[in-house]
Chain A
Amino acid sequence: DGGITQSPKYLFRKEGQNVTLSCEQNLNHDAMYWYRQDPGQGLRLIYYSQIVNDFQKGDIAEGYSVSREKKESFPLTVTSAQKNPTAFYLCASSSRDRLSTDTQYFGPGTRLTVL
């Protein structure tokens, strides 16, 4: 089955702890993304990566870090510097077609709760 997987589905963390969210895709997509979704605020871009070993900050990157060592994987670390980390985190991937248009496909998400 081709798709995007995220783990864990639910995650609880104490304040002051770093936590890493997993995102894996087997769609052979070049680009991968991390979004945060809060009630009433839609999706906000945290980081994106166009290609392996390269990534850029999105609109709300502070307190987060990523790596892109493999094409299939784009883990997100929520650090203790993130002031309000409780949210629903969505990973996505995409591949530009020959017309240079891009469609994102999303994973099932991880709900992070900081206690």
Chain B
Amino acid sequence: EDKVVQSPLSLVVHEGDTVTLNCSYEVTNFRSLLWYKQEKKAPTFLFMLTSSGIEKKSGRLSSILDKKELFSILNITATQTGDSAVYLCAVERGTYKYIFGTGTRLKVLA
């Protein structure tokens, strides 16, 4: 059975800390892995990863995929209170079929 597991389930840090969120997967016919940020309602897209070892960066956020060990990490440096959200990992297996992890709830304290 296909599955996506995110860890930790929740995390509380102080502003300025660096956090690493994990996403491991076991799926048939892997196509891509995506990260989303969900603050209140609609998840917003962060990164899509298809190749191992290539880091994607956007400001203080970065992500990398390891297709051999079947995991991805999302790093956030110099965290801010605005980073507080649920971070979702999703894997596209086959065509157009996505499976999501349960998410990591991040709270950044001022």
Contact = CB atoms under 8 A, between A and B. Distances in A.
Chain A binding site: helix, strand, loop or mixed by DSSP?
strand
Q: Which of A42, A45, A102 has the most CB of B within 10 A?
A: A42
B104 to A, nearest CB: 11
A103 B34 contact: yes
Nearest to A59: B99
Nearest to B98: A45
B102 interface: yes
A91 to B, nearest CB: 9
B76 interface: no
B21 to A, nearest CB: 14
A114 interface: no
Given A43-B90, A48-B97, A106 B42 contact: yes
Interface stretch (B12-20, B43-51, B56-64, B65-73): B43-51
Contact of A43 (B32, B92, B95, B100): B100
Interface in A28-53: 31, 33, 35, 40-45, 48, 50
A107 to B, nearest CB: 6
A102 B102 contact: no
Contacts of A108: 41-42
Q: Which range holds the interface residue count of chain A?
A: 20 to 34
Nearest to A32: B96
Contacts of B44: 106
A101 interface: yes
Interface in A58-115: 58-59, 88, 90, 94, 101-109
A36 B95 CA distance: 19
A44 B50 contact: no
The 6 A-B pairs of least Cβ separation, nearest first, read: A43-B100, A106-B42, A42-B100, A42-B102, A109-B41, A108-B41
